[in-house]
Every structure is written in structure tokens, then in C-alpha cells.
Amino acid sequence: MVNNQYSIPMIDITFKIKSHRTAIAQATVKVSKQETIDAIHNKTVPKGDVLEASRVAGLFGIKKTSELIPDCHPLPIEFAAVRHRFEGLEIIIETEVQTIYRTGVEVEAMHGASIVALTIYDMLKPIDKEIEIKDIKLIKKKGGKSQYKDELSRTIKAAVIVCSDSISAGKKQDFAGKAIIKKLEEIGGVSIEDYMIIPDEIKEIQSSVLNHYDQKTDLIILTGGTGLSPRDVTPEAIKPLLDREIPGIGEVARAYGQEHMPYAMLSRSLGGLKGNSLILALPGSTRGAAESMDALFPYLMHIFKIMEHSAHD
């Protein structure tokens, strides 16, 4: 019998988008005498060139992190560097790691710094018995959603409109619209002003959007009607209303969805601006709606930041 009571899986990162991520870590090796520092500079340490050997060891340590730390995901190391500097009797080690992936490289950077420090310790111990490793820490990290979350000076007013004949007729329940609302609530700084369900009718879709536009709703998200059936008319309803279509919105949503579901390329999702209102047309499936929100937010909130600056200018 298998006991799964303490079975904890790796963190699921499949829903995250790939982004440029950087981490810089530091470790310090303190020796006990100046002679040790001199031996490093003069390359007279019996075990060899301390700086070069520890640099190479650090690069291996960075690359092999996922093999040794159970919950670390294997990821591509796009750039890695190991640097040394001396401050008195201390050797300051700095490691920098970069990747374009779904998760950060903080542990890789710290693991690399640790391996560099241990290598230096191992190489110096024949000539110095009082070496100390200390202060292994993360100095800086960049990338991921937290880097691109704009702090706005006001709450964004949002409306979610479900476009579906079957749901409006009471034959099915809505899950996609509720998934969108949940994602908006997780972002924070957004007030859900309205949630409505309407049939797949061009005039009714346009009327609902224009009504929210007149109410100065900042973010109008429609879900449903972006497919290829005869009743999927949301893009046809929305496009004539836009002052500016933003092609990247549909492109990013489809590209992200395609990594998870090969049918995502068939979606006709789109987005754009009418005045200061951002209007999005997203898929009607729960999965498609949720994945589109993961692909687009919080990054789309930057539009409102741009508008704030424009208003000040």
C-alpha cells in the first residue's frame, strides 16, 4: 500500500507565461590570514587556480540545480556568470543567472554561489584551517508577473459579458465568465461593476458594450462567440466599435493557448480601445477564458497606466 499522505508534487507552473528572468546571488568566504589571499592571487595554492576552478564549479552548480533540489524545475540557463572580488580577508562571490522561462532562477543563483564558496573552501583548507563561509543570499531578482504589475492611482471598473445562446436560455451554466471574474479579483485593484449574460446577437452585444462605454467602464470583457460556428459573432460585433484594435492581444492569447491546446489557433479573440475603455473578446470555454486571462493579465493593466500619464501630460 502506497502512503500518499506526505506526497507533495512540484509546483505547477504550466499556467505561467515565459518571461526574461534574472537573479543575482552572493556568498562570502572569509579566510584567516593575508597569506591565503596572496596565495590565491599568486596562484600558488597547491590544489590549483582557486578563482578559475571555483568559477567553473559554480557554472556546473547553476546548471545542475534541478538535479539536486527536488522542487526546482529543470530550465534553460541562457546566461550564467561567476564573479569574485576581495575585501580584506573576505572573498565576495557573486553569481548571475538569466533565463527566458516560466519560473525564476533565484535558487540556481544561490546554489551556484554556494558551490563556488565550497570549492574555494576545499581548495584553501590545506593552507588555512580557519576558513568561514557566510552570508549566502539573494541580492536581486527580476522577471515574472510581479515585475509588470502597475500600481494605479484608482480602481479600474470592469464589466464581464457572457455571450451565449444556450446560457442565456438557461440550458447551460456559465463557468467562463465566473473564471474571468475570479482572475480579475486575484489581480486586485479592479471593481466588478456588472456581470451579464446575453445571447449571440450582434445588436445586443453592441448595445451592451456601448452601454458600458457610456458609463465609462474601464475594462469590458466579453466571453464567448469567438469561434467558427455560424452563431459566433462577437468579433464581428466588436470590431466596428473599436477606435484602435490592438493586434497583440489576440496574438498573445492564441500563442499562449496553443502551448496548452492545439485548437487555440482557431480562436478569433481580439481586443482594442474605444475611447478610454479597453474591450476584450475572449473564448467562451472555461479553459480558454482562464488561459487567456493568464496570458494577458496583469500586463494589460499597463494600458491604464499609460492613460494616467497621458492625462497628466
The C-alpha cell at 227 is: 469561434
Phi-psi region of 224 (alpha: psi -120 to 50; beta: other; left: phi over 0): left
Cβ atoms of residues 108 and 97 within 8 Å: yes
For 47, 263, 285, the CA distances from 179, given in Å and listed in that order, are 60, 20, 10
What angle do the packed helices 34-42 and 106-124 form, to 10 degrees? 100
Cβ atoms of residues 231 and 204 within 8 Å: no
Phi-psi region of 155 (alpha: psi -120 to 50; beta: other; left: phi over 0): beta
Catalytic residue list contains 200: no
Say which of 49, 122, 165, 194 is annotated catalytic. Answer: 122
Cβ atoms of residues 239 and 270 within 8 Å: yes
Active-site residues, by number, are 122
